[in-house]
Amino acid sequence: MMVASVFLASKVEDLTISATSLSEGTKDKKKEVSVEDIVKHELLLLSGLGFQIHCHHSFRPLMGFMNDLSNYAITEAKWYDADNMPDVTPLYKRCRAKLDELVFSDMVLLHSPGMLAATAFCLGAESLKADEEATKAWEKMDVMNYFEERFKGTKTDKEIAKFNSDLKSNIETARNILQEASKLNCALAPIDMGAVKAVYKKLKKVKMWGTDVKVEGEVKSEGGTKRKVEEEVGEEGGGGKKMRTE
- CATH of region 59-184: 1.10.472
Whether pTM > 0.85 for this model: the answer is no
- Residue 177 clears pLDDT 60, i.e. is over it: yes
Residue burial 109-124, b: 16+ Cβ < 10 Å; e: rest: eebebebbbbbbbbbb
- Please report the pLDDT score of residue 121 as a whole number: 92
- Please report the pLDDT score of residue 85 as a whole number: 67
- What digits encode the pLDDT tens for the residues 28-59? 666 778 888 888 888 888 887 777 777 778 89
| Per-domain boundaries in the chain | 2-48, 59-184, 193-245
| Maximum Cα–Cα distance across the chain | 68
DSSP 134: S
